[in-house]
């Protein structure tokens, strides 16, 4: 069959090529025209056929774009998401600073986040709930499940959340992300295998993002970004930071100075709230750390 091109969705990207899926579900290996090759999974593009393959003609304007950061670099990795699902577990303990970064990155591009607490069958569920209390209090939805221990219940809980949306699933290693993908995605291994063959990426697609369809009608999708360490926040200015942390923002109106950094100024409503215990000590500490990071490294 000859493909003519048209509009499509980038479902995988590796090096300088990507796989574009047309509305009828057919997939074509495409290359960018010219040197630019910053396409990410979730991008919508116009492409034209070039033999069996395709050439990307145009990137359709993104609704949002997210960046991931490892030791060496920050890189865009996913676009046009409807929501973020952060998976944490009763055991092992998750990093609150990484959770906070995720919420900030998503808030900046107006992507709603849901936290899912997994492994509630294990001891320590109450302590985990307590650690999430500040997040519930600031309005982040928190769901609970035990994906491996009670899979049917978990599927019934998560399926409505994921319906008709493109959802990025993130979680530190050990939280149950693979278990979740296998529980929710039909033929997950086959879907990822087909993509890595098409991309000629070999077995190791560990740092690329994968788009999984959850349903035959291709309305609901999960995005998995293996090897994800943390969100890059370089695009967030230090003055914008408090506006992206609802528990901090709630008290910023009480500060004496309009440009208060909430770190050391007299008459700071945020510090006063932290001292009264109305902002959790760890969230206030993380705010300070992020403020320093975003003030120093304008990379
Ligand atoms: N007790 C318990 N263990 C779970 C549950 N879900 C996943 N696990 C286990 O947690 C470990 C890590 O899960 P995995 O999906 O590999 O996590 P990932 O690193 O986030 O991909 C595995 O041993 C899973 O079997 C659960 O609901 N209860
Ligand atoms: Mg895994
Ligand atoms: Zn202040």
Q: Which residues contact 166 (CB under 8 A, 6 or more apart)?
A: 42, 80, 81, 82, 83, 211, 221, 223
The residue whose C-alpha atom lies closest to atom 7 belonging to ligand 1 is: 176
pLDDT of residue 229: 84
Tell which atom from ligand 1 comes closest to the C-alpha of 147: 27
Among 95, 90, 135, CA closest to 114: 135
Distance CA 181, CA 214 (A): 10
Average pLDDT for runs of 10 along the chain of length 299: 80 88 93 82 95 94 93 90 98 96 96 98 98 97 98 98 98 94 89 78 62 94 90 92 98 97 98 98 98 80
Max CA-CA distance within the chain?
Answer: 71
The residue whose C-alpha atom lies closest to atom 13 belonging to ligand 1 is: 176
CA 282, chain centre distance (Å)? 22
CATH of 241-296, one of 3.10.20.880, 1.20.1070.10, 1.10.357.10, 1.10.40.50: 1.10.40.50
The residue whose C-alpha atom lies closest to atom 14 belonging to ligand 1 is: 176
| Angstrom distances, CA of residue 61 to CA of 43, 46, 77, 102, 203 | 8, 11, 15, 23, 32
Q: What is the CATH number of domain 5-59?
A: 2.40.50.140
What superfamily does domain 65-231 belong to in CATH?
P-loop containing nucleotide triphosphate hydrolases (3.40.50.300)
pLDDT of residue 299: 47
Of the residues 98, 144, 148, which should be mutated to test ligand 1's pocket, given the most ligand atoms within 8 Å of the CB? 148
- DSSP annotation of 41 reads B
pLDDT of residue 17: 87
pLDDT of residue 202: 54
Residues with beta carbon inside 6 Å of ligand 1? Answer: 118-119, 121-122, 146-149, 171, 173-179
pLDDT of residue 37: 67
Q: Which residues contact 124 (CB under 8 A, 6 or more apart)?
A: 90, 91
Domain regions of the chain by residue span: 5-59, 65-231, 241-296
Q: How many angstroms is it from 138 CA to the middle of ligand 3? A: 18
């Amino acid at each position: 069959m000859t493909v003519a091109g048209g509009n499509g969705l980038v479902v995988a990207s590796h090096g300088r090529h990507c796989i574009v899926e047309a509305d009828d579900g057919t997939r074509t290996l495409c290359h960018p025209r010219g040197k630019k090759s910053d396409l990410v999974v979730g991008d919508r593009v116009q492409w034209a056929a070039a033999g069996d393959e395709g050439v990307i003609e145009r990137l359709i304007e993104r609704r949002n774009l997210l960046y991931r950061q490892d030791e060496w670099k920050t890189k865009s990795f996913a676009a046009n998401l409807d929501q973020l699902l952060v998976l944490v577990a009763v055991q092992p303990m998750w990093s609150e600073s990484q959770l906070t970064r995720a919420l900030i990155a998503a808030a900046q591009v107006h992507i709603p986040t849901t936290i899912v607490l997994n492994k509630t069958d294990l001891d320590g569920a109450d302590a985990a709930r307590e650690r999430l209390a500040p997040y519930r209090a600031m309005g982040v939805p928190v769901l609970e499940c035990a994906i491996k221990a009670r899979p049917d219940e978990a599927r019934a809980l998560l399926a409505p959340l994921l319906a008709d949306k493109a959802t990025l699933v993130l979680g530190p290693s050990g939280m149950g992300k693979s278990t979740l993908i296998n529980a929710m995605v039909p033929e997950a291994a086959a879907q990822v295998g087909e993509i890595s063959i098409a991309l000629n990426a070999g077995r190791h697609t560990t740092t690329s993002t994968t788009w999984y369809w959850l349903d035959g009608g291709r309305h609901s999708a999960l995005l998995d970004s293996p090897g994800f360490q943390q969100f890059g926040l370089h695009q967030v200015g230090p003055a914008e930071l408090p506006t992206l942390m609802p528990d901090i923002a709630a008290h910023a109106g009480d500060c004496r100075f309009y440009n208060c950094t909430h770190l050391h100024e007299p008459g700071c409503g945020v510090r006063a709230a932290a001292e009264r215990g109305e902002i959790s000590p760890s969230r206030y500490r993380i705010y300070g750390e992020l403020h320093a990071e975003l003030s120093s490294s304008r990379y």
